[in-house]
Chains A and B, each alone.
Chain A
Amino acid sequence: MDAFYASVEQMDNPDLIGKPVAVGGNLERGVVAAASYEARKFGVRSAMSGKIAALKCPQLIFVKPRFERYKELSYRIRDIFYDYTDLVEPLSLDEAFLDVTENKVNNPSATLIAQEIRKRIREEVGLNASAGISYNKFLAKTASDINKPNGQAVILPKQAEAFLEKLPIEKFFGIGKVTAEKMKEIGIHNGYDLKQYSLQYLTKRFGKSGLHFYNIVRGIHLSEVQPNRVRKSLSAENTFEKDLMGREQWIPALMEIFEELKRRIEKSGIKGRTVTLKIKYRDFTIHTRSKTFEQYPEEEKIRQAVIELLEQEELSLPVRLFGIGLSNLNIEIEHSHFGKQLWIDFENPK
């Protein structure tokens, strides 16, 4: 979806149409969750702090995010996808992979299906979408960025390698800012440069991801569209209004986040064996520490583990963000469309 959250706000409030809109980010420390195309012209980008966004575009209109509404529309869009295939892998509320190799409408052309789906999203939901079509997920995702907004593009198998050779390294899906910088340090600026390195070198340099990089630049990405998205973690985190310094500030802040996590645990009935503490410092470096239990820990044990993990960390810098996460969960399936039948918990009655 093109500027999904911002487009929804413009659709629901015609006063915003044609104006630079940012969803979220109006607090001192908040970040922009989405920017309308009008705002993007001024250089406003998602994940930019509200403060900077307002500097770049003084007439920028900040709106509060309404995730319930985005979710509702997202499900309506997903329902359209399900008319064509059951192999839908949602990446987020506004992006999904579809495998249409075999489809419910017996249309052999993925291009035509994409056109039809985009048309239906426009007519039935009222929003613009872009699509990328190719023979694997990585290339499809890359293709979807080519003719954005409100367009689509195809990368054919024979075009793939040539296309990837020219692609700037930071545009590769899965290569973030940090990795892109590391690559540039060793002279990799585009796909062609990346291709010159051996698998051995890349694995040595980038660990497990080395193989992935080696493959994608050759147009190889064997990951299948996975219709059942599995929930892997449950977490709560908070970016603080002001950086926190010292134990007497950290502990209460952590406890507040812990309370939120506790609420989510209670609401979802999810348990996890691994407790992870995430710390983002003033200089944006992120440290994580975790502890894994033999058995699903009680809430009090989670709380103690969090404090323990904090003690292990050498906290010399002011902290910008704390997060607490649970993983190694007791649930396997968390499909957006299939409800999970709950069990009576005879072991831990409430």
Chain B
Amino acid sequence: MKFIVSSSALLKQLSAINGVVTTNPVVPILENFLFEIKDGKLTITASDLQTSMMTEIDVEAKEDGNIAVPAKILIETLKNLPEQPVTFSIDHDTYSIEISSDNGRYKLAGENATDFPKIPTVTNATAVDMSTEVLSSAISNTIFATSNDELRPAMTGVYINLSSTNATFVATDGHRLVRYRRVDVASGDPASLIIPRKALNLLKSTLPSENVPVSVEFNSSNAYFKFNSIKMICRLIDERFPDYENVIPVDNPNHMTIDRMDFLGSLRRIAIYANKTTHQVRLKLTGSELQISAEDLDFSNEANERLSCEHDGEDIEIGFNAKFLVEMLNNLDSKQVTLQFSAPNRAGLIVPSDTSENEDILMLVMPVMLNNYV
């Protein structure tokens, strides 16, 4: 089997799906890309068994055929070649692959394509359409709050709940929680699923910057995403997602509205002085003044700043992990944000002050206990 393809066009497609390939896969053949040629079209597949990605590219080929090509060595070769047509010649008896370019010839050992694990298909699927813009903002608004704790598998992904009026995306690591809702995505069949973080990270880095439609299909075990020439299929997390609605306080009496960038800038500076383990910053609200302070007693470091804000409620002092606050504020884009508190040991909420038409976002964060509060 032989085919000719542009080195840079091929590299572009491979790079889009290369993130799936792990360095130490369960089955060694997963260190390869699966190449399948049919009617002048090359389909490339990468998989780690949990997540698989596929892409397509037109090639010049006289015959159909399949081969598994070592991913790392192929990508390295293409990266270092000047743009030009390259010829792949495959010996089906030995699975050896020869790449010829203007610069020379490179021979590498491939593997039998039939050994490559079969990629599941999604049957009896529910379908929902969204745009890359919706999907990428849903991912970036939630993924940072997912957990790395494999002992809490449900929290290692983003929960999606589809109803007839909206789509809700939720992530939590047990210390904080983000609920992102879109009213421009809905499904006639209400459904919920948990998509693993790795798949979402791959999607996030692969989604094109231009806004194109994404088709999403899923059943009880897999979800399938398709946009442009790229397809991704991932296994869902088969766990019960924590009952998130009940932990969101609805009547926090203290409301503080503040310029997001001012607050963020201040937190970034103060965080430098916070304890390196807890990253605790202290927010002290007195009237319409917010005092942000931190101290690291191990190094005698301390810092404090004052900001003015709009505050409705009694004076309060509450501690938070500065990294959490910075991450949350960073992911919002409204000019002003409102923080809602009730007590130094109760969940605080961060919401954008100006609401946008199609989306609704709420972030919950648990405090870090202050040492003068028993």
Contact = CB atoms under 8 A, between A and B. Distances in A.
Interface of A: 68, 71, 75, 79, 82-83, 86, 264, 267-269, 335-346, 349-350
Interface residues of B, number: 34
A68 B370 CA distance: 14
A340 B298 contact: no
A71 B372 CA distance: 8
Contacts of B373: 267
A81 to B, nearest CB: 10
B364 A341 contact: no
B177 interface: yes
A267 B343 contact: yes
8 contacts: A267-B373, A268-B374, A337-B275, A339-B280, A342-B366, A344-B174, A344-B177, A346-B243
A339 B297 contact: no
Interface of B: 172, 174-177, 242-244, 246-247, 249, 275, 277-278, 280, 297-298, 300, 319, 321, 343, 345-347, 364, 366-374
Contact of B275 (A86, A268, A336, A338): A338
Given A79-B300, A337-B275, A346-B247, 11 more contacts: A337-B371, A339-B280, A339-B368, A340-B369, A341-B366, A341-B368, A344-B177, A344-B347, A346-B242, A346-B243, A346-B246
Contacts, number: 73
Contacts of A349: 243, 246-247
A65 B236 CA distance: 60
Contacts of B347: 344
Q: Which of A335, A337, A341, A346 is packed against the most chain B CB atoms within 10 Å?
A: A341
B246 A339 contact: no
A258 to B, nearest CB: 18
A102 to B, nearest CB: 15
A59 B99 CA distance: 103
Given A86-B298, A349-B247, A342 B371 contact: no
A338 B277 contact: yes
Given A82-B297, A267-B345, A344 B369 contact: no
Contacts of A346: 242-244, 246-247
B175 A341 contact: yes
Instruction: Name the 3 nearest CB pairs between A and B, nearest first.
Output: A349-B246, A339-B368, A346-B242
B247 A344 contact: yes
A272 to B, nearest CB: 15
Given A268-B345, A339-B368, A340-B368, A79 B246 contact: no
Contacts of B345: 267-269, 342
Contact of B366 (A86, A336, A344, A350): A344
B278 A338 contact: yes
Nearest to B343: A267
A339 B174 contact: no
B275 to A, nearest CB: 7
Nearest to A71: B372
